[in-house]
């Protein structure tokens, strides 16, 4: 048996025989590490859920948006203000290398739609036939807007399931006429219900799609787009493609160097970033609070170790007398404090994981195992033990055998 | 075995310096059973601590087996204590939470390589002090005399040449004192060098040599050709009343 493992056994024996001290030393760490773990698991869970919702919407890692108007995501609503993108922009971008699909799109103001004496208000989108494929959104009855609708500017519409239910309760809307503002449209399809929220106070199934050309000429009365959705072929060149699109649009819009973009590029990462920004701020704050509590538990460990060392002065003297070197005493006390901290950290991590699981199970809060969080917890607790054990350990080792036996 | 020449020791407490040993010359041969006597403050414990390498002299020379030990490092002294010496203290200084056997095995924690027969040697050492039936008792479950015998077993387990005992009978009743002295006499008879500090002249009568220390100097150094036998004294005591 090596000297190191013999000392380790002595240290473990002390912790076991002084269980009350051991528990006292661990309790702060257990609570601190448990709360850090919960915070990190919640943070990771929120992020994971946002990403999964977005890829469910077809906004995974292979697509991005260019929307009209400058500014920054989250500061100005994309699509608000004046529209700067044109169908020609979209046509040019379709020829860029690595671009798989370009889906131009026009969002109109919420407008009144009616069928006979029933009416509701909904958001009208001007879209191209690719829209459904790009967003992985199929029709549950009828058909989607096709190329003829677009090129011949047919006044046809595909309704969201909620809007269809409002205007045609209990009957098929296919072939029926609706009025959008004062313009009549024929319903050719109804979208699959998606559920969830599509905007402030609005269901995602509350919408009406019309051919882009019709939306521009008959409803918006200008040949401008709200946004262009771009799917890339290879995700590894994603950033290069985003940058190329930016430069092409700046050239086409004749923007001089130094003039800010008159469009905004929205990537999935940026959206996740925006949505999780608030929860990240909370993570930072709670991490800070936990760090303070871990620091305090480090002080507690140091104090209890100091008490234990002075209580064990005679024991240390006997150990020195029977042949312990200063380094042996120092090592043993350090082992004790590191062991107690790592044990406390492990228990805290277990408790935190259990609490996270309970939060997910009982309150449906999203949580996910966070490797970053667990590594941080273990590193932190071992560090606390090492740092705050050093002073008591040095104190224990500093005594001469005679001093400690007296 | 031990050769001290001009050993001095002065304790420095802030501005005040307290001389404790004022030049001690002493030779102790292998196998001797030496009592160091003297009144309180005479420096007898300090002298034992210096001989036991628990403390360093302020001046002088200490040859242990012909080697100067004053120049050795702290770690080298630890190794020498571990290999060559055993200690018995007045207050026993056992680890309260450990069994008798674990206490006896403590020196092996700090031995170079861990002996494979450590457990067996611990058992033998406890048997040598008559405690083979107390292996897994903790100090709280043992009498004072038994505790001191565990401490002697701890001093014996590494089979050292030198045993230092600092007032080993100071906390014990008469019967236990005789038991402890009988064990120490037995060790001396086996050829171990025993150095014992005491202020009890009855105890010193059981040693083969008595060194008397007064105010940091050796006042007398007498051989005792016929030491009292502790075993005989023990046999002469009236029988124990209610010992289970």
Lowest mean per-residue pLDDT among A249-258, B64-73, B124-133, B202-211: A249-258
Mean pLDDT within A233-243: 83
Q: Which stretch, A163-167, A217-221, A324-328, has highest mean pLDDT? A: A324-328
Q: What pLDDT shows up at residue A78?
A: 44
Do residues A255 and A181 both lie within one domain? Answer: yes
What DSSP letter does each residue of chain B carry, written as one string? Answer: -EEEEEEEEEEEETTEEEEEEEEEEEEE-TT-EEEEE--TTSSHHHHHHHHTTSS--SEEEEEETTEE-TT--HHHHHHHHHHHEEEEETT----TTS-HHHHHTHHHHTSSSPPTTHHHHHHHHHHHTT-TT-TT--GGGS-HHHHHHHHHHHHHTT--SEEEEESTTTTS-HHHHHHHHHHHHHHHHTT-EEEEE-S-HHHHTTSSEEEEEETTEEEEEEE-SSPPPHHHHHHHSPPPSS--
Lowest mean per-residue pLDDT among A37-41, A177-181, B81-85: A37-41
A69 assigned to some structural domain: no
Smallest Cα distance from A384 to chain B, Å? 27
pLDDT digits (tens, 9 = 90+) for B118-136: 999 999 999 999 999 999 9
Do residues A288 and A218 both lie within one domain? Answer: no
Mean pLDDT within A320-346: 94
Residues of B with Cβ-Cβ distance to A322 under 8 angstroms: 81-82, 86-87, 106-107, 110, 154
Residues of A with Cβ-Cβ distance to B106 under 8 angstroms: 318-319, 322
- Kindly report the average pLDDT of chain B as a whole number: 92
A68 assigned to some structural domain: no
Q: What pLDDT shows up at residue A199?
A: 61
Q: What pLDDT shows up at residue B205?
A: 93
Q: Which of B55, B79, B108 sits opposite A400 (nearest CB)?
A: B55
Tell me which of A212, A238, A261 is where a domain ends: A261
A57: pLDDT confidence band, cut at 50, 70 and 90? low
Of A65 and B29, the one with more pLDDT: B29
Residues of B with Cβ-Cβ distance to A1 under 8 angstroms: 114
Do residues A109 and A215 both lie within one domain? Answer: yes
Whether A6 and B98 lie within 8 Å, measured CB to CB? no
Do residues A141 and A26 both lie within one domain? Answer: no
A179 assigned to some structural domain: yes
Mean pLDDT within A143-156: 91
Tell me which of A231, A261, A291 is where a domain ends: A261
Q: Closest Cα to residue A46, out of A297, A387, A279, A323?
A: A279
Mutating which of A15, A323, A402, A406 best tests the B interface, going by the most B Cβ atoms within 10 A?
A323
Is the Cβ of B93 closer than 8 Å to some Cβ of chain A? Answer: yes
A74 assigned to some structural domain: no
Do residues A230 and A208 both lie within one domain? Answer: yes
Do residues A149 and A12 both lie within one domain? Answer: no
Size of interface A-B (CB pairs under 8 A): 75
Mean pLDDT within A257-285: 79
pLDDT digits (tens, 9 = 90+) for B141-195: 999 999 999 999 999 999 999 999 999 999 899 999 999 999 999 999 999 999 9
Q: What pLDDT shows up at residue A81?
A: 58
Whether B54 and A321 lie within 8 Å, measured CB to CB? yes
A316 assigned to some structural domain: yes
Do residues A190 and A286 both lie within one domain? Answer: no
Of A374 and B197, the one with more pLDDT: B197
A63 assigned to some structural domain: no
Mean pLDDT within A140-152: 90
Is the Cβ of B189 closer than 8 Å to some Cβ of chain A? Answer: no
Do residues A146 and A291 both lie within one domain? Answer: no
Q: What pLDDT shows up at residue A71?
A: 66
Q: Which of B55, B81, B91 sits opposite A322 (nearest CB)?
A: B81
B24: pLDDT confidence band, cut at 50, 70 and 90? very high
Is the Cβ of B199 closer than 8 Å to some Cβ of chain A? Answer: no
Do residues A111 and A21 both lie within one domain? Answer: no
DSSP A235: G
A323 assigned to some structural domain: yes
**Owning domain of residue A144:** 85-261
Q: Which domains are assigned to chain B?
A: 29-52+74-236 (3.40.50.300)
Do residues A387 and A301 both lie within one domain? Answer: yes
Residue in A with minimal Cα distance to B47: A402
A180 assigned to some structural domain: yes
- Our count of domains for chain A comes to 2
Q: What pLDDT shows up at residue A79?
A: 42
Do residues A322 and A189 both lie within one domain? Answer: no
Mean pLDDT within A122-139: 85
Q: Is the pLDDT of residue B244 over 80?
A: no
- Kindly report the average pLDDT of chain A as a whole number: 85
Smallest Cα distance from B205 to chain A, Å? 27
Tell me which of A235, A261, A287 is where a domain ends: A261
Q: What pLDDT shows up at residue B241?
A: 62
């Amino acid at each position: 048996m090596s000297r190191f493992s013999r000392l380790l056994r002595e240290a473990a024996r002390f912790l076991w025989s002084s269980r009350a001290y051991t528990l006292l030393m661990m309790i702060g760490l257990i609570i601190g590490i448990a709360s850090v773990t919960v915070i990190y698991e919640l943070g990771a869970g929120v992020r994971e859920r946002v990403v999964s919702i977005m890829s469910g919407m077809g906004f995974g890692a292979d697509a991005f948006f260019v929307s009209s108007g400058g500014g920054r995501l989250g500061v100005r609503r994309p699509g608000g203000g004046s529209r700067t993108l044109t169908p020609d922009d979209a046509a040019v971008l379709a020829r860029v290398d690595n671009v798989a699909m370009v889906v131009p799109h026009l969002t109109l103001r919420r407008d009144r739609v009616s069928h006979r004496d029933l009416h509701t208000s909904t958001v009208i989108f001007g879209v191209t036939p690719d829209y459904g494929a790009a967003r992985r959104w199929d029709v549950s009855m009828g058909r989607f807007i096709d190329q003829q609708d677009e090129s011949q500017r047919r006044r046809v519409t595909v309704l969201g399931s909620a809007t269809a239910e409002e205007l045609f309760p209990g009957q098929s809307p296919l072939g029926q006429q609706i009025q959008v503002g004062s313009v009549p449209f024929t319903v050719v399809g109804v979208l699959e219900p998606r559920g969830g929220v599509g905007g402030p106070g609005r269901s995602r199934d509350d919408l009406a799609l019309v051919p882009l050309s019709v939306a521009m000429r008959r409803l918006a009365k200008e040949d401008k787009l709200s946004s262009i959705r771009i799917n890339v072929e290879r995700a590894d060149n994603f950033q290069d493609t985003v940058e190329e699109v930016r430069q092409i649009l700046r050239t086409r819009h004749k923007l001089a160097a130094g003039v800010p973009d008159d469009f905004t590029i929205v990537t999935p990462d940026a959206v996740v970033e925006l949505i999780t920004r608030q929860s990240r701020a909370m993570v930072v704050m709670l991490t800070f609070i936990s760090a303070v509590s871990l620091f305090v538990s480090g002080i507690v460990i140091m104090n209890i170790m100091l008490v234990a060392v002075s209580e064990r002065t005679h024991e240390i003297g006997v150990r020195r007398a029977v042949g312990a070197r200063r380094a042996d005493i120092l090592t043993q006390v350090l082992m004790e404090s590191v062991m107690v901290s790592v044990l406390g950290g492990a228990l805290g991590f277990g408790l935190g994981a259990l609490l996270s699981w309970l939060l997910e199970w009982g309150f449906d809060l999203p949580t996910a195992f966070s490797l970053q969080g667990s590594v941080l917890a273990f590193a932190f607790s071992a560090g606390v033990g090492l740092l705050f054990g050093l002073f008591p350990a040095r104190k224990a080792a500093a005594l001469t055998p005679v001093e400690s036996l007296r | 075995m031990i050769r001290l020449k001009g050993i001095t020791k002065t304790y420095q407490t802030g501005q005040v310096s307290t001389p404790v040993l004022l030049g001690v010359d002493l030779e102790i041969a292998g196998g001797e059973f030496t009592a160091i006597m003297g009144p309180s403050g005479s420096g007898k414990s300090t002298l034992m601590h210096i001989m036991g390498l628990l403390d360093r002299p302020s001046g002088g020379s200490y040859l242990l087996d012909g080697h100067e030990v004053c120049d050795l490092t702290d770690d080298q002294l630890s190794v020498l204590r571990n290999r060559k010496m055993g200690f018995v203290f007045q207050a026993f200084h056992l680890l309260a939470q450990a069994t008798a056997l674990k206490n006896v095995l403590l020196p092996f924690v700090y031995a170079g390589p861990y002996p494979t027969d450590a457990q067996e040697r611990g058992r033998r050492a406890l048997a040598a002090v008559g405690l083979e039936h107390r292996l897994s008792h903790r100090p709280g479950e043992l009498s004072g005399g038994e505790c001191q015998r565990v401490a002697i077993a701890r001093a014996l387990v590494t089979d050292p040449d030198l045993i230092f005992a600092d007032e080993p009978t100071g906390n014990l009743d008469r019967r236990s004192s005789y038991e402890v002295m009988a064990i120490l006499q037995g060790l001396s008879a086996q050829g171990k060098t025993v150095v014992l500090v005491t202020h009890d002249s009855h105890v010193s009568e059981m040693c083969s040599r008595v060194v008397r220390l007064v105010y940091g100097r050796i006042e007398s150094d007498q051989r005792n050709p016929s030491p009292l036998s502790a075993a005989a004294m023990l046999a002469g005591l009236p029988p124990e009343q209610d010992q289970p």
